[in-house]
Amino acid sequence: LIESLVARAAPVRPLRPPLVRSAGWLLFAALILALIVVGHGVRPDLELDLRQPQFVVTTAAALLTGVLAAVASFIVSIPGRSRYWLLLPIPALIVWMSTVGYGCLTSWVSLESGELQLDDEAGCFAALVLTGAPLSLLVLIMLRHAAHLSPTPVAISAGLAVAGLTATALSLFHNHDASVWILVWSAGTVALFVALAGLFGPRMLAWAPR
């Protein structure tokens, strides 16, 4: 039996450290954002918004949530690592959602005011798909080794990572004049990617190796 196992053994390439793999995924995310900037351009009022502390804090918290969630997902995907790493992006997520909620309370625009146009949000949805789809596919392929270990927690953390970076992209490319849309796209993006990751992540992780 031992001889037969040795005869069939194939070389196994060890996984790179979690920080290196997460850095590779984040570099790919930066490339996606750069390509969208080249093809779509940034919003014209971005320079003015960068002077507003609330916008800077919200965007930075969303970006930090995505980065920390990515690091956590790659760490937890390794056997024997503590699942407490999944709590790593929680503080940044709390700051992100708190600033969004505070902005909605201080400068609310009603849906009945007539200032909201659904047609204007088509660009937001396009940016969400262009950013979220390739990032989701790549992170599933890179985390496929966790398919039989802890697929659901890893998938949810990866979904949060994609949500954070996608929301960051939306804030750079699309202007939300109405506070209600800020809430919809920020909290909605998190809910969407986390829910999809929780429901379909384990199946997708199991599909990726094949």
Tens-digit pLDDT profile for residues 197-208: 666 666 666 665
Average pLDDT, stretch 49-62? Answer: 83
Provide the sign of the torsion angle of the four alpha carbons 91, 94, 96, 98, taken in this order: negative
6-20, 47-61, 123-137, 169-183: least confidently modelled range: 169-183
Q: Nearest Cα to 177, choosing from 92, 94, 113?
A: 113
Which has more confidence, 134 or 50? 134
Average pLDDT, stretch 124-129? Answer: 66
Q: Nearest Cα to 21, choosing from 13, 12, 9?
A: 13
Q: What is the pLDDT of residue 137?
A: 82
Q: Is 114 left (phi over 0), alpha (psi -120 to 50) or beta?
A: left
| Angle formed by the axes of helices 151-173 and 90-106, nearest 10° | 40
- Residue 170 confidence class, pLDDT cut points 50, 70, 90: confident
- What is the separation, in whole angstroms, between the first and last Cα of the chain? 27
Please give the model's pTM, rounded to 2 decimal places.
0.76
**Rounded to an integer, what distance in angstroms lies between the CA atom of residue 159 and that of residue 205?**
12
Above pLDDT 70, what percent of the chain? 65
Burial of 208: CB neighbours in 10 Å, binned 0-12, 13-18, 19+ = middle
Which has more confidence, 62 or 177? 62
Q: What is the pLDDT of residue 190?
A: 60
* Eight-state DSSP code of residue 129: H
Residue 114 reports pLDDT greater than 80: no
- Beta carbons within 10 angstroms of residue 161's beta carbon: 30
What is the b/e burial string over 86-120, where b = at least 16 CB atoms within 10 angstroms of the residue's CB? bebbeebbebbbebbeebbeeeebeeeeeebeeee
